[in-house]
Structure 1
Amino acid sequence: MNEDDLVLPADDNSFQDFKSMVEEKEGWEVIFNKKNVCVSTRAQTNSNIKLLKAVTSFNDVSAATLFDVIHDTEYRRKWDHDMIEMKEICKLCVNNTVSYYAVKCPTPVKPRDVLFLCSWIAYPNMRDPKEYLMINKSVSHTDYPPKSNMVRAISLVTGYLIRPTGPNSADFLYLTHFDPRGSLPKWVVNKVAEFFTPKVIHRIHKAARKYGAWKKKNGSNYKPWLWPEQCKLPMAKPGKLSARVDQVAVIDETGLTEDKTANGRDPAEISDDDEA
Structure 2
Amino acid sequence: MAGKSPSSSPRHNGRQQEKKDSEQNNFFKLGEIRVATEKDCEHFMHIADSNDGWIRKVEKNGFTIYQRECDNSMVKMAKVCGVFKGVKASTAFDVIMDSQFRRSWDDSVINDADVCKLDDCNDIGYYSMKWPAPLKNRDFVNQRSWRCYGEDQFVSFNHSVSHPELPQKKNFIRALSYLTGFVVRSGDTGCNITYVTQSDPKGSIPKWLINFALNKLAPAVFRQLYVATTKYEAWKADHTPGHKPWRYPDQIKLPLVDPSLLSQGSAPTPMLETRNDDEQEEEVPSEESMERIVEGIVESIELKTEKAS
Q: TM-score, normalised by structure 2?
A: 0.79
Q: Aligned match of 1:210 in 218, 227, 231? A: 231
| Structure with greater strand percent | 1
Offset of 1:252 from its aligned partner? Answer: 6.2
Partner SS state of residue 48, structure 1: coil
Aligned residue pairs total 268
Is the aligned partner of 1:74 residue 2:100? yes
Indicate how the Cα distance of structure 1 residues 108 and 187 shifts in structure 2: closer, same or farther if over 3 A, else same: farther
The structure 1 segments of at least 4 consecutive aligned residues displaced by more than 6 Å after TM superposition are: none
Of the candidates 142, 146, 153, which is equivalent to residue 175 of structure 2?
153
CA RMSD of aligned residues (A): 2.5
Q: Which of the pair has the greater relative contact order for Cα pairs under 8 Å at 6+ separation?
A: 1
Q: Is the 8 A contact 2:139 2:173 kept in 1?
A: yes
TM superposition shift of 1:113 = 0.6
Question: What are the within-5 Å matches in structure 2 for residues 183-262 of structure 1?
Answer: 183-186=204-207, 188-239=209-260, 243-246=269-272, 247-249=274-276, 250-251=279-280, 255-261=284-290, 262=292
Letter in structure 2 aligned against 1:83: V
Q: Secondary structure at the match of 2:68?
A: strand
Q: Give distance in 2, aligned partners of 1:107 and 1:187.
A: 20
Question: Following the alignment from structure 1 to structure 2, what is the Cα–Cα distance between the partners of residues 114 and 191?
Answer: 21
The residue type paired with residue 102 of structure 1 is S
Post-superposition CA distance 1:127-177 (Å, at most 9, x none)? xx43211010111110110112111011111110001014x6000100011
Structure 2 stretches lacking a partner, 5+ long: 1-29, 264-268
Structure 2: distance between partners of 1:89 and 1:241: 15
| TM-score of the aligned structures, taking structure 1 as reference length | 0.88
Distance in 1 separating the partners of 2:59 and 2:32 = 40
Q: Paired residue for 1:19, among 36, 45, 53?
A: 45
**Equivalents in 2 of 1:160, 1:255: separation in Å?**
31
Which letter maps to 2:285? L
Structure label with greater radius of gyration: 2
- Over residues 165-192 of structure 1, what are the superposed CA-to-partner deviations in whole Å (9 max), with x where a residue is unaligned? 14x6000100011121122124531343
Q: Secondary structure at the match of 1:105?
A: coil
Distance 1:257 1:89 in 2: 38
Equivalent residue letter for 1:51? M
Contact 2:115 2:254 in 1 (8 A): yes
SS class of match (1:32): strand
SS of the residue corresponding to residue 187 of structure 2 reads: strand
Q: 1:9 to 1:183 in 2, by over 3 A?
A: same
| Secondary structure in structure 2 of the residue aligned to 1:141 | coil
Distance 1:240 1:26 in 2: 35
Give the Cα separation in 2 of the matches to 1:78 and 1:36.
Answer: 24
The answer to whether the 8 Å contact 2:160/2:177 transfers is: yes
Other-structure match for 1:99: 125
Of 40-49 and 250-259, deviating more is 250-259
Question: Identical aligned pairs, as a percentage?
Answer: 31
